[in-house]
Chain A
Amino acid sequence: MNIFVCVKQVPDTETKVTPNADGSFIETSSIKWIMNPYDEFAVEQALLIKQANPAANVTVVRVGSVKDTEALRTAMAMGADDGILVEAGDNLDSFSIAKALKGAIDKSGKSADLVFAGKQAIDDDCLQVPQILAQMLNLPSVAVVVGFELTGSTVKAKREVEGGALEVYEVATPCVIACNKGLNTPRYASLPGIMKAKKKPLAQHSLADVGVSDADRRVKYSGFRLPPEKPAGKKFDATDAAKQRDVVAQVVGLLRTEAKII
């Protein structure tokens, strides 16, 4: 069984984002890169399947810059067997990334039985790549998955929708599964795992190698800027129990008269 896991490298969630000088992207020089948090659930799910099916092979694929290979090394340290890196800039659009992932999977010579990805990357927040990739691979997909069971070649996947309701899908492999928080508890990479990861095979391709060119760009970004700052608000002291009611009544009053919200 061949399992592919698509991962992305993104700025850490505590990063303060600053647009670059010409607004064409963000300043990336001082960013701490991590594996996209949702991709950790994807890697973990693949490894859980591998535990139950020792013959399974887990390949982790990433499209992005070479200057830091944190995400791939982390995934291999967690237990993925091998990796594929498609070298690209940091500001590629979803269509190009999906096409590059498909190209990389095709080029591996293995036919995918399962493709896992995080439901979205927390940098561009597009929530597109798994669905586009599924369409390009002509595979069914289930996105925002919080429950996964594999029995033989049948997948039962729970997809979380509005208000926390769950759609329970049944689908035969091969298929694409986009993972959400809550699916599992991703393992930490062990020290021996980290040492072993250094020796695991990592294939590298250019975008051209996997058939992607500038003509594949569908979404153009420009004018990166910080959101407008709100003017300072009003602050009330309700630490004194005797004045609490007056203070709260005043705020509630302002919500109606000033903010006109309620």
Chain B
Amino acid sequence: MANVLVFTETNDGKVKPVTLEILGKLTGNTADVAVIGDLAADQVQILAQYGAANVHKLKGAGLEKYSPEGYSNALSSFIKSKNYDYVFAGATSTGKDLIPRLAAVFGAGCASDCTNFIFEGGAFAGTRPLFAGKCLAKVELTGPKPHFVTVRPNALGMPAAPTAGAGAAADVAADAGQIRAAIKEIIKAASTKVDLTEANIIVSGGRAMKNAENFKILNDLADVIGATVGASRAAVDSGFAPHAMQVGQTGKTVSPSLYIACGISGAIQHLAGMRTSKVIVAINTDPDAPIFTKADYGIVGDLFQVVPVLTEEFKKLLGK
């Protein structure tokens, strides 16, 4: 039985779902949660439901905004005051930036972007994709403790029947220390949709979209089913979509419940980035396109005709 700390982030004051996925998987171990800043009582309650023993709210000057050094200084001091075997976090933008730096403070190792894990005789044994998911490997940690792990959002899934913990919340005075790289400004994204890496449904367009304006039909579909819109490398390199939307080996690796590929042929580097999606729908005029080898439901046809009909049918189904 391991003594574990889970670092959680919040979005609009709500705990990110990946934290609950991690807590669910940690059943049988002692799991505390640390958050930077405040957390409302209802959120503490949710963490308790999923197994959190203690919820530590780290508060102090310089922690209002994320900074790699401020967060790392505050968390490392807190972790040093405790006796954790493992520190977990979501493999989010912040998690992926912060946790390797934090691990290095301890001279400790970090297993990145794990899609599953178990404890074998008390020791962490994870699974993680490499080469953008073209292969999988077992990952283990060695050397000084605590050991650090980041977990890919949507990969573990929500626990069906979580074991509750005490969820005792307390404030911890934290020191951000010296912050040399600080955020001066945040430029909001044009889209307010959830990020591709956390999206439950993704609608992606490829080279066959022909231009940026045509992405409107994907946006219309996405609005109906609550999806985030993505793009293939071919579409990004042709200037139809920004790189932030790219799915694939030099873009984002995603694992939504539903992935709808529109006019994407299915280059090996694209398939690598989306093959772990639970259900894949592909729309393509070429019946021999490689994307159909990975699709649960393949529709051979012109996306400009099929997508608008798909949008209407989803509307009917969802009563919109």
Interface set of A (CB-CB < 8 Å, partner B):
11, 13-17, 19, 26, 37-38, 93-95, 98, 122-129, 131-132, 134-136, 139-144, 146, 156-172, 175, 180-182, 215, 217-227, 230, 232-239, 241, 244-245, 247-249, 251-256, 259, 261-262
Contact = CB atoms under 8 A, between A and B. Distances in A.
Nearest to A247: B299
Contacts of B137: 221-225
A33 B133 CA distance: 18
A80 B163 CA distance: 56
A131 B68 contact: yes
Given A221-B138, A235-B298, A238-B283, 14 more contacts: A127-B96, A128-B110, A132-B103, A132-B104, A135-B105, A170-B182, A182-B244, A219-B142, A222-B140, A224-B137, A225-B135, A235-B300, A252-B310, A261-B278
A93 B109 contact: yes
Contacts of B242: 164, 182
Contacts of A172: 180
A181 B190 CA distance: 19
A143 B69 CA distance: 12
Given A13-B269, A141-B181, A230 B294 contact: yes
B280 interface: yes
Nearest to A236: B299
A200 B141 CA distance: 39
Could you say which of B137, B190, B287 has the most chain A C-beta atoms within 10 Å of its C-beta?
Answer: B137
A102 to B, nearest CB: 10
Contact of A163 (B180, B194, B299): B194
B121 interface: no
A162 B198 contact: yes
Given A163-B189, A244-B309, A261-B257, A175 B195 contact: no
B64 interface: no
Given A222-B138, A251-B297, A94 B100 contact: yes
Contacts of A245: 309, 313
Contact of A244 (B194, B296, B306): B306
Given A144-B93, A167-B186, A17 B135 contact: yes
Nearest to B138: A223
Consensus secondary structure, chain A interface:
mixed
Given A128-B112, A170-B182, A249-B313, A123 B299 contact: no
Contact of B295 (A123, A220, A223, A233): A233
B88 to A, nearest CB: 15
Interface string B98-136: 101101110111111100000000000000011111111
B276 interface: yes
B297 A135 contact: no
Contacts of B320: none
4 closest cross-chain pairs (CB), A and B: A218-B109, A238-B301, A164-B244, A135-B104
B188 interface: yes
A146 B246 CA distance: 14
Contacts of B301: 237-239, 244, 247
B191 interface: yes
Could you say which of B98, B107, B192 has the most chain A C-beta atoms within 10 Å of its C-beta?
Answer: B107
Contacts of A13: 249-250, 268-269
A241 to B, nearest CB: 7
Given A161-B93, A259-B279, A261-B279, A251 B105 contact: no
